[in-house]
Structure 1
Amino acid sequence: MEVTASLAELLEEREHLLEIAQWRFGSPATAERVVQETYRRWYALAPAERDEVEPRSWLTQLASTIELVGLEPVNPLVHRFALACTLGDVPGLRATLAGDVTLITDTGGHLRTTPHPMQGADQVATHAATLLTRHPGTHLSTEPVNGHPGLILRQAARAVAVITLTTTPTEIETIYIVLNPSKLTPWHRVVVA
C-alpha cells in the first residue's frame, strides 16, 4: 500500500514539475529536459543535503528557476528528421537514415501503413515522408518518448502517431511508429480553458 502511495506521489510530483516547466518554456520537449535536469540535481545531492530540505519545495523552486544553458541539447539528428518529414523532403529524410534502417509500425490508426517491417533507407524515407507529412491540421513535434529521442504527430491536442527513434551519433537505425488510437491516449495534450 505504501509503495503504491509513494508511486502515485512521485507521478503527481513529476506532473507538477512538468506543468511548471511547460508554463515557463512553452514546449513539452523543453519541459521534459528541465524535469530530467531537476531530478538529476536532486539525486546528485548527498543524503544529508536532501534531509535538510523539503523535497517538493526544493524541486519546485529548482524547476521554476533552472536555466537551460549548458544542458545537453536535444539530438539535432531528430530535428533534421522532423523537419524533413514536415517538408516532405525525401532526400533530406534519406540523409538522416542508416542504409539498413528499419521501420516498424503497428496498425489500427487513421494513417495508412504496412503491418510488416520495412527496411532500407530509400523505402523507409519515402514511406515515412508520406506517413508523416502535411496532413491538414497536424503538427509534428520533437519530444522524448519513453526516454528515447522521438516525435509526436498531433491533430489539435490529440496524438495520431508516436515515433521512437534509435540513433547513432550520425544516423537513425530504427523507427518505431505507434498508430493504434488505444495506445496514444497518454500522449494527448490537455487543453486548458
Structure 2
Amino acid sequence: MTTPSEPGDGRFEPGLSAIMSERRQLINLSYRLLGSLADAEDVVQETYARWYAMSRQQREAIESPGAWLTTVASRVCLDLLGSARARRESYVGEWVPEPLPDRAEWISGRPGGTPADPADRVTLDESVTMAFLVVLDSMTPAERVAFVLHDVFRYPFAEVAEIVGRTPVACRQLASSARRRIRASQAPATPAARRADIVRAFKQAWEAKDIDALIGLLDPDATGIADSGGLVSAVLRPIEGAEQIAHYAVDIVFRVPDLVILERTVNGEPGLVVQQDGVTVVVMALDVAGDRIKHLWAVRNPDKLRPWTMGP
C-alpha cells in the first residue's frame, strides 16, 4: 500500500503499512547482530524514528525504503557493537546472548536473492542457535556485521561495503575471517532427533538427581555458563568438567525442590526451561556434540527472560 505524494509530482511515498512491513526483517537482522532482543527492538525503534524525522520530500527521494532501513539499522548495530565490549566489562558475571522462544518469525530472513557462495551459506535457523551466537559474539563488530549481512541475509558485498564503510574486498575478507571462526567451532552434526533424546535424558537425570547419569550425558570437558547479570544468584564463572556440572545441577534441585523442568525449544534447538511457582527462572540452551553435551548456557538474568514470561 502506498500513499500518494503531492498532486502532480508523479511520485508516491511509501505508506505506513509498507514501511512497517520491514519490521520483522529489521528485528531478525538486529537480533543476530546484537544477540539481544531488547536491544534489537531499540534499534528498530531508532531506525523508524530516523525515517520519520526526514521530510516528506527526503523520504520520496529514497528509491528503496527497505534498503535504507536495513542500512540505518545495521549502522546503529555496528555502533552499539563497538561500545558493547566496554559495557560487558561492567557486567556482573558471564554474558550470554538473550535466548529466544520457539517462534517461527525468528528464523525468517530476507526473501528472494541468490546465494553468492552456496557452499558457505548459513541457514537462517542455524544462525540463531546459542552456539552460533556465542561465536558471533567473539568476532569484531565489522566481522560480525559483514558476515551476518552476507552469509546469513545474502546481501552482496557491494551493499555490505556501503553499510560497514569499507571496500567490498575488505568486507569479503572480514566475512571470510568470520567464516573460519564458525567452522573452527563447529562439531560434527548430531541429528535433531538424537539431540532431543539427549536433552530429554539430561532432564530426566536432573529431576532424578542421578549424578552418574548426568556425568554420562556430559562431555568430560563440558562447560557450563550461567548468566545472571548480578540480579539473581548464580555462579559467576564457567563451570568446567562433567562431574562439576553434574554436582552443581543436582545441588540446585536439592536446595530448591519445587522447581519444574520443562522441555522447550530454545533458539531453534532442544532446550530446557526451569520454572518456580509458574515463573520462568532459567532458560537453558545445550550444545550437543556427538552423543554428549558439550556446552550448557543457563540464562538467569530476569531482563533476558522477559520474552519467556510475557506469553506468546
Alignment partner of 1:100: what SS? strand
Query: Which residue, 164, 172, 184 being the options, matches 2:305?
Result: 184
Per the alignment, residue 155 of structure 1 pairs with 276
- Provide TM-score, normalisation by structure 1: 0.59
| Partner deviation per Cα, 1:77-126 (whole Å, 9 max, x = no partner) | 0001001111211111111100100001112354x431111111111111
Alignment partner of 2:21: what SS? helix
Per the alignment, residue 252 of structure 2 pairs with 131
Q: 1:43-192 counterparts in 2 under 5 A?
A: 72=193, 75-107=196-228, 108=230, 110=232, 112-132=233-253, 135-188=256-309, 190=311
Q: In 1, are the aligned partners of 2:285 and 2:296 still within 8 Å (CA)?
A: yes
Counterparts in 2 of 1:170 and 1:72: CA distance versus 1, 3 Å: closer
Per the alignment, residue 159 of structure 2 pairs with none
Q: 1:26-41 counterparts in 2 under 5 A?
A: none
Deviation at 1:132, TM superposition (A): 4.7
Gaps of 5+ in 2: 1-15, 28-101, 108-191
Question: How many residues end up aligned between the 2 structures?
Answer: 137
RMSD of the alignment, in Å?
Answer: 3.3
Counterparts in 2 of 1:157 and 1:95: CA distance versus 1, 3 Å: same
Q: Residue type matched to 2:261 in 1?
A: L
Deviation at 1:160, TM superposition (A): 0.3
Q: In 1, are the aligned partners of 2:219 and 2:293 still within 8 Å (CA)?
A: yes
- Provide TM-score, normalisation by structure 2: 0.38
Aligned partners of 1:3 and 1:136: how far apart in 2? 50
Gaps of 5+ in 1: 12-31, 40-70
Counterparts in 2 of 1:134 and 1:75: CA distance versus 1, 3 Å: farther
Q: In 2, are the aligned partners of 1:137 and 1:155 still within 8 Å (CA)?
A: yes
Counterparts in 2 of 1:97 and 1:3: CA distance versus 1, 3 Å: farther
Aligned partners of 2:211 and 2:292: how far apart in 1? 15
| Partner deviation per Cα, 1:50-93 (whole Å, 9 max, x = no partner) | xxxxxxxxxxxxxxxxxxxxx95771100010011112111111
User: Looking at CA atoms only, which structure, 1 or 2, has the larger radius of gyration?
Assistant: 2
Deviation at 1:6, TM superposition (A): 5.4
Aligned partners of 1:172 and 1:124: how far apart in 2? 11
Alignment partner of 1:167: what SS? strand
